[in-house]
């Protein structure tokens, strides 16, 4: 019945258009909330350059802790580095002769009984830069490993600041900067570089893993 077919087609078309409009509105809300979480203007572009700028600004807060001197490490620090390279080293049990990638030695070299805070701040910058380059090249495993290694150093500094009774404002500024940088990576993982839009579904997956934006 041509009339029925036309009616069904018209109804389906209407539903699709309604869904498209709803999707566009929801996308605008998601992008707006992402910008708010990052502390940028409502009309600021969501792209790699913006995220890099936010990281650079947040990283300036790290300079305040660069003068705290020697930072002792703990077994938790060593374990965090082991966890960072575990995706690469876990196979050695079954394949002991398999050559490990260079990133394993690179992160293993970070194991030490203590480190200077100023040197650590520079090392964190390098590790995060290495992570950015790995992600840009499509190597997510290396990117995650470098980012985790940077996080291990950051956590060691945080623990030291607490142990030595660092000023509350210094500790807060440092932690806020860490959180801001972490948010940029959460957004980056959920970002469609071509459209400049953030995927709410990707953010929901992070939320389910205990990493809310």
pLDDT category at 155 given cuts 50, 70, 90 is very high
- Tell me the H-state helices in 42-167: 48-59, 75-89, 102-108, 117-136, 140-163
Residues 62/104, Cβ–Cβ less than 8 Å: no
Q: Which residue has the higher pLDDT, 63 or 1?
A: 63
Among the residue ranges 63-67, 139-143, 164-168, the one predicted with the least confidence is: 63-67
Q: What's the pLDDT band for 193 if we cut at 50, 70, 90? A: confident
- Measured CA angle at 18 (ends 16, 22), to 5 deg: 115
pLDDT confidence tier of residue 153, bands split at 50, 70 and 90: very high
Contact 37, 89 (CB under 8 A): no
What is the C-alpha to C-alpha distance for residues 29 and 140, in angstroms, rounded to an integer?
Answer: 28
Query: By percentage, how much of the chain surpasses pLDDT 90?
Result: 55
Give the whole-angstrom CA distance, residue 186 versus residue 199.
11
Q: What is the pTM of this model?
A: 0.77
92, two tokens:
């050695």
Q: Please determine, for residue 182, whether its predicted confidence score (pLDDT) is greater than 60.
A: yes
- pLDDT for 61 equals 83
- The alpha carbon of residue 206 and the mean position of all alpha carbons in its chain are separated, in whole angstroms, by 11
């Amino acid at each position: 019945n041509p009339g029925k077919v036309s009616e069904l087609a018209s109804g389906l078309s209407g539903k699709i258009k309604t869904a498209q409009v709803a999707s566009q509105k929801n996308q605008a809300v998601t992008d707006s909330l992402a910008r708010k979480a990052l502390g940028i203007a409502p009309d600021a572009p969501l792209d790699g350059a913006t995220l890099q700028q936010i990281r650079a600004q947040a990283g300036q807060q790290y300079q305040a802790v660069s003068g705290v001197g020697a930072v002792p490490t703990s077994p938790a620090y060593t374990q965090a580095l082991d966890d960072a390279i575990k995706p690469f080293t876990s196979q050695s049990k079954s394949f002991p002769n398999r050559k490990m990638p260079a990133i394993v030695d690179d992160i293993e070299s970070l194991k030490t009984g203590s480190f200077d805070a100023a040197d650590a701040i520079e090392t964190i910058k390098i590790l995060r830069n290495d992570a950015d380059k790995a992600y840009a090249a499509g190597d997510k495993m290396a990117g995650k490993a470098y980012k985790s290694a940077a996080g291990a150093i950051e956590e060691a500094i945080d623990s030291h600041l607490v142990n030595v009774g660092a000023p509350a404002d210094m500790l807060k500024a440092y932690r806020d900067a860490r959180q801001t940088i972490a948010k940029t990576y959460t957004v980056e993982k959920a970002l469609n570089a071509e459209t400049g839009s953030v995927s709410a579904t990707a953010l929901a997956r992070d939320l389910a893993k205990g990493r809310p934006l």
